[in-house]
Chain A
């Protein structure tokens, strides 16, 4: 099925809340996502940054390139710092605000997961965004639990490539019965924009998992960043979908509605996606087969859940 990317008009004309002058690397996907996210969220947004690349390159005292309030915090605390800010805004009677965490995969999957799990279980009114570049890129490419199987990093060098599959953060978040869980990619900016708009309207815990290419860590040409992220979705390594809580008419009858929001314009084998990046250069054929099977399984599972949702709606 062919798919055209329709750029919403607002994306082109709304006020820019992310200004130029950052020191991010060429081809880094995170600023592309931030720019679109802020257009959808508007200026009544507080951003909470744990330690991550973005925390470093968005400013450096006394500068900031974001035209919204920003709170920096210790690495493992971002979700609960946001919970505290949301509670204070609530008690002060500030309406129509969004408190958004913008954390890397380390700050989400690893060191940040305890505070994140706590905030999710309490259904605190925050939006937690993980821009996942699949390793500790800020400290120089070390493996995290978001690093895919077979990837080279400085702590999984040749001869000791990562042998474990990537942690399934999406399932972990869904197990907390949260209000909204979505994946998104700046390779599909219209979808990304719509998801942040949707998250803005929902009260309670929202989680958006962004794929975020890192040319330095993925060993790719910066010019290929968006193309390779698109291949991640085309190969179903990173399917783009959302799960929305539907509050039941009767207590205890809440349901979660699945929708696959991007059906890629073409399908590519997982091996093409892996071959496009230097970090997977050393992986074995066995690993490629395993990743292909995981991707197929996840896709089948998503189709099944989406169809079940559709049946339930009929």
Chain B
């Protein structure tokens, strides 16, 4: 059924269709409307879930340690400061191999308040072990939630779906909401590989000495790497059921491109307009949209970007002391490759400042004519 719904509600529908058993959340703008809608769905008995209305984001994530260990499919959502408050528990849930799915509506974080779009919150969680998937449209959000559970439960790692505050969370788009029976065929009920069983009691977690801890960490790393193999399988299955496909990265006109623009999230939609315009003017530009960012699909990035003569990355985030996170990680991934074009970095749209097609075109133009150093980010649109 096609319906015009907001991005946040697309996530709520994904959660409903995934037949989640335990939901736990705390209000924070701009995530709140996801869980408001889920509360309504629970009240209308459209979801048979227990909804724990916790007193903080830290407790939201912590409650899912208990719920997922005890065998429930689980969901939470957060944004910005709320996600940062969860940080300790993100490490814990990944290390405990719990297949939790969370939506993070990317929101700026700093020593001053701002509730608008920026990816620094989720990127600050990149070492936690959570799989990260960045989305551009409401359809991708709903589908992303369904695929996230399939992936999480196959590799036993938690998955974070990240997307822009307001630009996507509060924008209404037409979304194809699949039928529950088709989703049930794609996503079977959650059966944890190690059960909490009173007749066969196990200890979950506990104290790991130096004899075991390193090996434990390595198994988490292996599971994350395995996600790179499993994700394409999940995509194929998803495509077979729903006729839509989402690869590790999405490419557009990259095959013969001299310059490849790299974006993540809602800036991608704006960039499509620009790429189309520049192509019509004969410029050989292409677009690579980052989808999976943890684990890094290194081979995939190398294959797409290797033939370009330059790569331009727009980062709606800032790692203070470094610059744009995506640019830095792409540079690092390309370094050992035979073909490694220079990677130029532009910081734009921090704290929800609008990034228009003119901005994207301006960034690409500046990278071409001003001959900037790849070492220094271009702080686009900064008022001096």
Contacts and interface: CB of A to CB of B under 8 A. Distances in A.
Interface of A: 43-44, 46, 48, 55-56, 59-62, 64, 66-74, 76-77, 80-92, 97, 99, 114-115, 117-118, 121-122, 124
Contact of A118 (B49, B55, B65): B55
B58 A76 contact: yes
Contact of B59 (A85, A86, A118): A118
A115 to B, nearest CB: 5
Contact of A77 (B49, B89, B203, B209): B89
B363 interface: no
A84 B55 contact: no
B106 interface: no
Interface stretch (B194-202, B259-267, B270-278, B372-380): B194-202
Contact of B203 (A72, A83, A91, A99): A72
B62 A88 contact: no
Interface stretch (B67-75, B114-122, B231-239, B289-297): B67-75
Given A71-B204, A77-B62, A82-B66, 10 more contacts: A55-B207, A71-B205, A72-B206, A81-B63, A84-B65, A85-B66, A88-B70, A91-B21, A115-B59, A118-B56
10 contacts: A43-B198, A64-B201, A73-B205, A76-B58, A84-B24, A84-B64, A87-B50, A88-B68, A115-B58, A118-B56
A56 B209 CA distance: 10
Give 9 closest A-B pairs by Cβ, nearest first.
Answer: A84-B66, A72-B205, A85-B66, A118-B55, A84-B63, A77-B62, A88-B70, A88-B72, A84-B67
Most buried by B among A62, A69, A90, A122: A69
B230 interface: no
Given A59-B207, A118-B56, A69 B201 contact: yes
Nearest to A126: B66
B375 to A, nearest CB: 39
Interface of B: 21-22, 24, 48-50, 52-56, 58-59, 62-72, 74, 88-89, 92, 196-198, 201-209, 212
Nearest to B22: A87
B198 A44 contact: yes
Contacts of B66: 48, 71, 73, 80-88, 99
B69 A85 contact: yes
A275 B261 CA distance: 75
B12 to A, nearest CB: 18
B52 A91 contact: no
A68 B22 contact: no
A142 to B, nearest CB: 20
B151 to A, nearest CB: 21
A83 B60 CA distance: 10
A217 to B, nearest CB: 20
Contacts of B64: 84
A87 B63 contact: yes
Most buried by B among A70, A86, A87, A99: A87
B55 to A, nearest CB: 3
B19 to A, nearest CB: 10
B53 to A, nearest CB: 7
A77 B198 contact: no
Contacts of A62: 212
B181 to A, nearest CB: 21
A118 B53 CA distance: 9
Given A80-B63, A84-B67, A85-B66, A72 B204 contact: yes
A206 B63 CA distance: 18
A56 B207 CA distance: 6
Contacts of A77: 58-59, 62, 65, 89
A46 B69 CA distance: 11
A92 B72 contact: yes
B53 A114 contact: no
A102 B69 CA distance: 17
Most buried by A among B49, B69, B70: B70
A89 B212 CA distance: 30
B52 A83 contact: yes
A48 B212 CA distance: 22
A48 B74 CA distance: 19
B50 A115 contact: no
A86 B63 CA distance: 10
Nearest to B65: A81
Contacts of A82: 66
Most buried by B among A62, A82, A88, A89: A88
B208 A73 contact: no
Contact of A89 (B54, B70, B206): B70
Contacts of B212: 61-62
A85 B67 contact: yes
A61 B52 contact: no
B48 A70 contact: no
B92 to A, nearest CB: 6
A205 to B, nearest CB: 13
A50 to B, nearest CB: 10
Contacts of A117: 55
A43 to B, nearest CB: 6
Contacts of B209: 60-61
Contacts of B70: 46, 71, 84-85, 88-89, 92
Given A59-B207, A66-B201, A84-B62, A122 B72 contact: no
A77 B67 CA distance: 13
Nearest to B199: A43
Nearest to B209: A60
B62 A80 contact: yes
A234 B299 CA distance: 72
Most buried by B among A61, A92, A97: A61
A73 B65 contact: yes
B156 to A, nearest CB: 16
Contacts of A124: 52
Contacts of B59: 77, 80, 114-115, 118
B55 A114 contact: yes
A55 B203 contact: no
A82 B24 CA distance: 13
Contacts of B58: 76-77, 114-115
A88 B196 CA distance: 11
A24 B84 CA distance: 36
A181 B64 CA distance: 26
Most buried by A among B48, B72, B202: B72
